[in-house]
Structure formats: C-alpha cells, structure tokens
Structure 1
Amino acid sequence: MRNIKILLADDHAIVMEGLKEVLGADEEITVVGTVMNGEEVLRFVRGNHVDIVVLDINMPVMDGITCARHLKKEHPDVKIIVLTMYAQRSFVDEILKIGIDGCLLKNNTGKELIDAVLRVMGGGQYYDRIAAFNSDEEEVAQYKLSERELEVIRLMAEGLTSSEIAGKLFLSDHTIKTHRKNILKKLNVHNSSQAVQYCLKNDLL
C-alpha cells in the first residue's frame, strides 16, 4: 500500500484541523506537517520528503500563489493542490499557467479532497468544479475583490509599499498602483487603511 505524504498550509487552525481529519480518514495518506504561510512551506519541503502540498491561497508572510511559483521552480516533482474561497475563472487561468495540479473551493474539502489527492498522485489534474466558477463580472458583483486584489491588500496590511508588493508578486509598480486604486474604488473607501479595515471586518483576509 502506498503512503502519500502531504503537507498542509493554512493560517487558520480550525481549517487545518478539519483538513487533517478529512485526510486522516484515508489509510493511504499521511499528513507529515502543518504550516501557516508560504515561507514555512518552502522551508519544510527543502528538508523533508513531501508528495503533495495542500495550499491555502490567502496566507500571511508569503501567499499561496507566490509559494506555488517557488515550489514549481525548486521542486517540480511536488504536486500542489490549492484551496480558495473565491470561485473565479480568471484565478483558475492564473494557477493553470503556474502548473498547479488541482484546485478546490474551501467548502468542498470533504471526500472531494481525497479524490483530488488520489488523482493528482496518479499523474492527473483536479479541476472538476471550474465550470461552475464565476465570470469576472459575477466575481466583482459577489465578492468585489479579485484573488489578485486580495493578495495585494494582504500585503498592504503587512505594511508593504507598492514597490515591495510589486517585488513579491513579480509585477510592475504601475500594476500594483492600479490594483490599489481599483481596491479603493470597489470598496468605496478613501485610503489603504480603510481598505484593510474593511477586509478585516468582513473576514476577507
């Protein structure tokens, strides 16, 4: 019987415990570690054997997208399944370009997560739900902020400047300033501090 070694990455302890419980129900799977941000993921994988990283997108210090980029460059054999709260087709396009092996919505992490792990370990991909993901127009109406804008505002909350955010996300200063302007407009606030407070109050970070 094979033993699939999985690293879990999520900055919410309750979510982490739920994922461990789900994965622990399958005797082929072993959760070899739990971490709370992307930098901890990279450190763990550098020192331990991991088959799959189950990766939350919105994490402090280093977000899931940035972490996934580094993982695919440094450890191309490690499989990545990302978890997101936001069903956005534009987001799926981005993670497909990176080469991420699977994507699940956070509210579908029961048996579906086991199915995704087994398929990815078999050399396949798991994007079963993307047909139901929202278009960009629906995304703005329902969630207001895109996944990329949430990445930007999380880094804003950490006190980073536009130039520092651009460096972390491998984007230009101009692109980050445009994101910041769009964030303020979408949330109908006047400055970055108000935008961060809005997102914290509405549990978006």
Structure 2
Amino acid sequence: MRNIKILLADDHAIVMEGLKEVLSADEEISVVGCVQNGEEVLRFIKNNEVDIVILDINMPVMDGITCARHLKKEFPKVKIIILTMYAQRSFVEEIVKIGIDGCLLKNNTGKELIDAVLRVMGGRQYYDRIGTFNSQEEEVTQYKLSEREIDVIRLMSQGLTSIEIAEKLFISDHTVKTHRKNILKKLNVSNSSQAVQYCLSNQLI
C-alpha cells in the first residue's frame, strides 16, 4: 500500500485541521506536516520527505503562487495542489505555466481533494472545475467593486496611506476609509495586504 506524504500550508488553523481530518481518513495518505506560509514550506521540504504540498494561495510572508515557483525550481519532484477560496479564471493560465499539478476550490474539498491527491500522485493533473471559474470581468461584477474602489485599491497597491489616497482622488480621508472597509468586505479578506494581493494576482488592478 502506498504512503503518500503530504504537507499542508494554510494560515487558518480551522481550515488546516479540516484538511488534515479529510486526508487522514484515507489510509494511503499521511499528513507529515502543517505550516502557515510559503517560507515555512521551503524550510520543511529541505529537511523532510514530501510527495505533495497542498498550498493555500493567500498566505502571509510568502503566498502560494510564489512558493509554487520556488518549489518547481528547487524541488521539481514534489507535486503541488493549489487551494483557493475564489473561483477566478484569471490565475489559471499562470499556475498552468508554473507547472502546478492541481487546483481546486476550498469549498469543494473532501472526496474531491482525495481524488485530486491520488490523480496527481499518478502523474496526471487535476483541474476539473476550472471551466466554471469566473473571468476577470465576472469577478469585478461578482464582488460589485465600483470604479472608485478600484481606484482606491490601485493606490493602496502603491503603498499610499488613506490620507495620501484622499489627496490623490480629491476625497476625504473618511471616504477613503469607508472604501477600504467595503473592499475588504466584498473580497472577503481580513486586511489591506490580502486585498491588494488578491487584486494583483487576478489582474483586477
């Protein structure tokens, strides 16, 4: 019987525990480690045997896409499955080009995740649901980002403060803070860095 060694990388403890529970239910799979960012992934793999890394896209310190690039360059034999909360088509071309072995939505984990692991270990790719992912235009519509919110987050990506953004857009500091709050809510992220990262990764700005 195979023993597929898996490393989990996600900065949300509850998500990590859920993934671990799902995977551990399969007797062919062993979860050999749980880490919270891409840098920890690279350190772990240098010192431990791993067959597959299951990566969240949005992680602090080093995100999943950046980590995947390093893995393919430094540890090409390690398989990679990306997990994402968002059904966006805009990053699929990028992850295919990197050579990532599989991609699936977090809300479709469970049996699908185990199927993906087994298929990837068999030398095939798992991209079953990407045909249903949203285009860039659909993403903007889905989250109802206004033109002004796009302006605000574009300036946020340049490192400007709320006061500086207000001066650039000729609006009040309070209005900028309201836009920032609405952006986080619409994108379902917890801070400005994650919002900027999401929009940059998906070419929304």
User: Is 1:17–2:14 an aligned residue pair?
Assistant: no
RMSD between aligned residues:
2.6
In the other structure, the counterpart of 2:180 is 195
Q: Which residue identity lines up with residue 14 of structure 1 in the other structure?
A: I
Residues of 2 paired with 1:202 and 1:136: CA distance? 13
Equivalent pairs counted in the alignment come to: 168
Q: Unaligned regions of 5+ residues in structure 2, if any?
A: 146-152, 161-167, 169-174, 195-205
User: Is 1:8–2:44 an aligned residue pair?
Assistant: no
1:83-98 to 2 correspondences below 5 Å: 83-98=83-98
Provide the identity percentage. Answer: 77
Q: Offset of 1:88 from its aligned partner?
A: 1.2
1:126-141 to 2 correspondences below 5 Å: 126-141=126-141
TM-score, normalised on structure 1? 0.74
Residues of 2 paired with 1:119 and 1:129: CA distance? 14
Residues of 2 paired with 1:118 and 1:106: CA distance? 17
Residues of 1 paired with 2:144 and 2:75: CA distance? 34
Rg bigger for which structure? 2
In the other structure, the counterpart of 2:38 is 38
In the other structure, the counterpart of 2:104 is 104
Residues of 2 paired with 1:5 and 1:81: CA distance? 13
Residues of 2 paired with 1:196 and 1:56: CA distance? 24
Q: Offset of 1:90 from its aligned partner?
A: 1.4
TM-score, normalised on structure 2? 0.74
Q: Offset of 1:61 from its aligned partner?
A: 0.6
Residues of 2 paired with 1:79 and 1:196: CA distance? 37
Q: What do the CA deviations read for 1:52-79 (whole angstroms, capped 9, x no partner)?
A: 0000000001110100000110000000
SS in 1 for 2:16: helix
Q: Unaligned regions of 5+ residues in structure 1, if any?
A: 146-152, 163-180, 182-188
Contact 2:5 2:51 in 1 (8 A): yes
SS in 2 for 1:70: helix
Q: Offset of 1:95 from its aligned partner?
A: 0.6
Residues of 2 paired with 1:117 and 1:56: CA distance? 15
Residues of 2 paired with 1:61 and 1:203: CA distance? 19
User: Structure 1 stretches (4+) deviating beyond 3 angstroms?
Assistant: 193-198, 200-203
Residues of 2 paired with 1:12 and 1:144: CA distance? 26
In the other structure, the counterpart of 1:69 is 69
Q: Which residue identity lines up with residue 74 of structure 1 in the other structure?
A: E
